[in-house]
Structure 1
Amino acid sequence: MRGKKLSLLIVDDEKSIRYGLKNGIVWSEYGIEVIGIAKDGEEAYKLIQAEPPDIVITDIKMPVCDGLSLIEKTLSQGTTISYIIISGYDDFKYAQKAMKFGVTSYLLKPIKKAVLIEEVTQVCNKIREQNKENQSKTVVTRKIKQGTQAMKQHFLMSLLHSQLRSVLEIERELKVCKSKIKIQNLTNILIFTYEHALEKKELGSLKGDIHLFKSAVCNIMNEILGENVNEIFTDSNDFIVVLLQKPYICVNEDRFLERVCKRIIRIVNDFCRVEMCAGIGNEVSGLLELHESYRSAREYLSYRMYESENTVFDEKILAKRQPPDSFASTRNNTKLIDAIYISDHETILSYTDEFFESLFYIEFPPPNFVRGMCIYLIINVQKELSIYLNEEDSLFKENDYAYINKLSSFQKIKEWIVTLFHIYAEYFSENKNAQKDEVIEKVKNYIDEHIYEKITAEDIAEYIHLSDKYFMNYFKDKTNQNFKSYVLNLKMEKAKELIRQGNKTISEIAHMIGYTDYRGFNRIFKKHFGQTPTEFQDKYKQYK
């Protein structure tokens, strides 16, 4: 069940694209209704004002009002629209600005129908999950959960994500949760993370009990902060969040929060043997602005990706100098593309080293900039390499680059990208020589047609008018495989296929694929698959 249909608005200055997107996909099959199309951002804005859609697919470059201006204008008014950008421009500055607005779907024209459908489906799933979380509770549910931690958690998360838009809404929720937090009061958000401990699968003396660990941390925080602490809870990222409202009880307020965070981290490490980091959000005037403190705390905490000696991050860590908009466009990746295509692993490594060094125009560049540049590099490499691939090739996974955002450290990002490029290089090494080679294709067709016969290199060489030795060398050079091994692999796979069909005996199958000696076939099959033909047959019947 998809539930209620989601609404979609399509914006593009090209008429053929507007109507192609509207009529080229049966949107109803995906639980979507197209409620309008617009030729520019201004027309789209009027439609949004009249009936805000759930999703907007928009071009960037359009007359009167472009796509980015439309996004900025609507988001500034508090809308929760999910945007999917389609553009013929792969300039990084557009993608960078889109990411700044929280847009994660950025597709380059021309767009494959399957890619767009997958992207829209992912966005729809996120919207439906969010809608499910944000469904207003019935009066009965409110009475049942009134004053409980679940209700308070929901309220606090709503504050962090700016889902409560008025003082009246906040007052109502405060009464339901029986919280003593003040609406108008200087407030800070502190965020603590222990993700590195989870990656190492160790939680010190707590032996992996995550619930016990979080309970211990909360007790430590309450003990240290005393009357200062207003709320401690975990968010959707499993960060431990502390909400503090002034006045803080301290002799010298300067750097008080930094000192407190360091003390908490030190005691947790001593008691639980778990390393933590903390981000201190900017001070805000009240609960309506709490999401800004939360956002800034997460931004500062993101600098932990550099794995420096710092454990507490606040506004001091921010880069004093922003990277130039032209950073990406000035790089020429031809050397890297050529190295991948010819499988030059040494050059791939040296180039990626140079690339990562170039990102450090200052000691700690903005993490979003580093991640964005890495994503841009992968998109560019995939685009350049695609000219060497056929339509049916499956070298690139959809949104492969998105995995970068799941990696917690700069070193992990670097290692992952280097590994990815080596995988690309191996693919070309294994496939490019065999592609579109008429001799090899002729040989493979011959083998397929005579798979039930005894096939020798001498027969093949005579068939394609080459000497035995030259043919053997040629085949290995073009396919990266030994001829005999190639034939043997095909015969063994054919044997497996015949065994699965179940209408012939093992002995008959052995003779069919060219083995007069049953025991020899039995021995080779076991060496190839780690089990005898009979064992394979029995297991297949068991799980069939």
Structure 2
Amino acid sequence: MLRLMIVDDEQIIREALSQMIDYESLGYELIATAKNGMEAYDIICDEYPDVVITDIRMPILNGLDLIERSIKTDSKISFILLSGYNDFEYAKQAMKYGVRFYLLKPTDKNELIDSLVSIRKERLQEEERRKSQQVDLLKTLHIPLEQSFIMELLEHQDTFSSVFHKYQELLSLPESCLYACICSFVEEPYLKNFATDIVKILNLEGLRLDFSILYVKNTAVLIFPATTLATQERIKNSILKLHYPNQSVTFETEFIHMETSEKLFYYVIQKISRFERILLLSEKGESYEIRNHITAPWMISHLEDSITSAPDIIQANELLNSVFIDSMPPATARSLALGLFLQADLSQEKPPIDAACDFFRRLYSCDNVTEIRNLLSVVLVQKEHETGGHKASSNIALLKTYIREHLDSENLSLKWLAENYLFVSVGYLSKQFVKEEGMRFSDYLNKERMEEAIRLMTYYHNDNIKQIARQVGFGSNPQYFSQVFKRYTGLPPTDFIEKLKNTKHKGE
């Protein structure tokens, strides 16, 4: 369901628009209505709608100003503009902001339905593209993800189920229908040939590996769906026919099946856990080593524990700096950072797929180790230490710190912070903020901005309203700043400044 909001300063029109259409049947949830642009913008900051139906001519913040400000916090919002004036200038300005749906009042029901249907169709197509991009991204990262998965399973067998489910969606592991084929007497010098031959054998059956080949001391573990005995027999016979120069013995195979993928991987981990050296083999035969030695200082869990148990942020960052040194290859740093992100278990047992992919994109867009280190400093170090390692609280503490340091920014919305800074789901963050702070995000943001404006007026004797508006995040809209300031203090900024001057003169 797409989240829909209606904005109009006339109550009768708001109510008519709310009741005119069965929005649910079109795939929409009407989450809020607002009587002016200022109220609408606060709701957008809190409720992250997908689509906004808005009037143009409204007091305080008109429809075009609302759009201009809103797209700075969430460029993905779709707007449908309503106007009682057939004014081409409005339409031109709206198009400049990317608005394509401009309807005249009185609103024609069918035109509005057509607009909503068109937007939903586009959103569904965008969602399909986004999911396809996520799948492609995760495919490119499957080796570092699998490495992190195996290492964490080996180290945390007491919490095997939670670790498995954390990675299941990231690795596209099905609930069932997986088999493990244990191939014995596979000698390491022939691994590359073996891996490419296995891929060919499976391709002939219309199958593919669901996980990279696991290899420990002359034994290879193949994981793929082989649902019939006939298929298994054909694959077994094809493997037994493989032969490489100077290979001393013939291969042996054994098929293992469990009712769930989780149980299958539990069996596999038990088989390989006693080996210190484990290899992951890609379909092209490239090998990646995992050292199964829990006391090794480079182990991800050891590093994560060290960072989170450091007495303060300074020492935690120093530890991060000592590991992520500038001479480290960026590819190595990215792989280690990916494992730290997943093992840190951030705010929930299972990181949302969208948040995880957002982090992966940010991580793999880092050009050097310094950028990777800075990213981890926020996502891992500060988040762990803001409130003694309590994940949910640290999200809110980190969010509040960011707001204080970026009050001049116009793109401070809950959705922007969730997706671009904290890498958690916006729904989760919204509920957590209200629970911990006892107020909506927009109220907190406006309070911080108004208190900063008052501080600038009182202690720095700044009486330039335009300058103050820019400094507290209102950009080039001092009129909107004045309205919010008046709502907060009861006085317009000019009257408040005059009152401060009078108080000062009386004190003298």
Query: Which one has more relative contact order, counting CA pairs under 8 Å at least 6 apart?
Result: 2
Please indicate, yes or no, whether the TM-score normalized by the shorter chain is above 0.5: no
Please give the TM-score of this superposition, normalised by the length of structure 2.
Answer: 0.29
Q: Which has the larger radius of gyration?
A: 1
Please give the TM-score of this superposition, normalised by the length of structure 1.
Answer: 0.27
